[in-house]
A and B are shown apart, each in its own frame.
Chain A
Amino acid sequence: MMIDLHNLSFSYPNSPLVLENINLSIEQGEFIGIVGPNGGGKTTLLKLILGLLKPTQGTVLIKGLSPIKGREWIGYVPQFANFSRDYPISVMQAILLGRLGKTKRFFGYCKTDYQIADRVMQETYLTDLKHRALNTLSGGQLQRVLIARALACEPEILILDEPTANIDMRVEEDIFDLLKILNQRLSILVVSHDIGFISGYVKKVACLNKTLMCHSTEELTPNLIQNLYSNQTIHAIQHLHSH
């Protein structure tokens, strides 16, 4: 078992529940997508898994350990908004940051760190961009750098928060094709509000709107979506489908 959520509930102080009684198990080799409307608790759930928030009730276990200890095995790919895109750093140096926690504590990086960085850059087709500054990259390239940085942690599970929020459709496919290859050796958890696209790739979809429902991708029907999204959102989705 990679990740185990048991009777998990969460509320911010003096506020109603954001998440209620969530149960979810992610096995090794799984590729699971969590979808749901904005404000449905997706980001909160991720923060609980990563140990950045403490559950109000219930438990989070990562490989049987608490999130603080178990997150060593997690490669996390944040949303673009979480850091400054203008930061003066090269692709290589950004990826090396994934080695923190594994590399020596003082001074620079070791030889192994550079070897691992080279390897993950090959995996993510970034070798040619190695010395490029981060602020000259396109959205898709930047997304691949973030994935490479997470891979540099040598994780067993990859967690991605809205990986396609800032890139166009064509690049989106590239990213998911890359994830499909990575899924051969890693478990993957993707959080997205983009329900239509994600279902073509993942093996299992969990719909999150305060509570969680889990389905294999074949079972995902408009009816089900209707239960989870507000009416307004459904119109948008049905409109999309009619084209």
Chain B
Amino acid sequence: MTPESLDAELVEAARRGSPVAFGRLVERHQRAVRAFLRRACGDAAEADDLAQETFIAAWERIARFRGEAGIRTWFCGIAWRKLMTARRSWFRSRKRDADYVETEGLERGEGAGADERIALEQALAGLPIDQRAVVALCLGGDFSHSEAAEALGLPLGTVKSHVARGKARLMQTLGVDHE
């Protein structure tokens, strides 16, 4: 059974009200959603809170999932909207890009390559939020450009240019002039 057909089967079961099937969907896609949110918002704890809210909202709306995009894309779309809503509220927006390196860098900033990791995280934090989200999905999460466009509700051309600019910025951090 392919991962896509397993997902489709689990989605159907979840639509019929199976919490077990939905739990398996959460297990299968939690990493993608959390990694996307961590990179996009820069705060691991806030990202995990948002990921939980994302899956709870997804359970409530699973009947509305049409299956045009993959379930992972749909989850990330909800996560993106949750993130945007959270950023608009004042108490969450106080912790943002400035904390990015502090939280992420301190948690995993030891050993070889730690400086490079911090530099890359700083470069990522320096990108505008939608560019950072596109980079997190396409470069960090193996999303195709069209999947990222679908998840984030952005035009395909914008996604492509965000990927190119974001990658150039990260490569510049690694000492490469990326054209």
Q: Do A and B bind?
A: no
